[in-house]
Structure 1
Amino acid sequence: MSALFNFRALLRVILLLICTCTYIHSQWPSLLAKYKNHSMLGAFWKCARIGERASPYVSLACIFMAISQFND
């Protein structure tokens, strides 16, 4: 089933996208910063910003996602 129709899979994809963009932005800040005002690629910069500003909540969400993976 596609992640579009499965809510848990969609949340997992969004959470992994936020974590990946935050990691890329921390390693190579100019890579995402140059697309900051771009309409489509600016979403990656926004995901990195969410990961930086809400990092405790993103970390907790990653922990809960890992625990839920063990329960499946």
Structure 2
Amino acid sequence: MTALFNFQSLLMVILLTICTSTYAHYVFPGIIDRNKENYVVGVFWKCARVGERLSPYVSLACLIMAGSVFMGQW
């Protein structure tokens, strides 16, 4: 099953995109800020903004997702 048809996998992909974009913006701020008007890279800029401004909620969602994946394997 792909991540588009499984809701939990889709949420995991979205969370990983937010976390990766935030880290990439922290390490290379010029690349993401310069291309924020571009449609493809603009999505990563928006995800980086969500990760920066809502970081406590994103981290809580990552912990919940990790717990659900860990508990699902037992």
Residue of structure 1 equivalent to 2:10: 10
Q: Deviations over 1:22-63 (max 9, x none)?
A: 000011100101111112220000000000000000000010
For the pair 1:42 / 2:51, whether they are aligned, the reply is no
TM-score by length of 2: 0.94
Give the TM-score normalised by structure 1: 0.96
Q: Please give the alpha-carbon distance, in whole angstroms, between the structure 2 residues aligned to 1:47 and 1:15.
A: 9
Q: Unaligned regions of 5+ residues in structure 1, if any?
A: none
Counterpart Cα distance in 2 of 1:70 and 1:39: 35
Q: How does 1:24-63 map to 2 (within 5 A)?
A: 24-63=24-63
After TM superposition, which residue ranges in structure 1, 4 or more long, deviate above 4 angstroms? none
- Letter of the 1:9 partner, please give it: S
Q: Percent identity?
A: 58
Q: Could you say what the CA RMSD is over the residues aligned between the two structures, in angstroms?
A: 0.6
The farther-off stretch of 38-47 and 3-12 is 38-47
Q: Count residues with an aligned counterpart.
A: 72
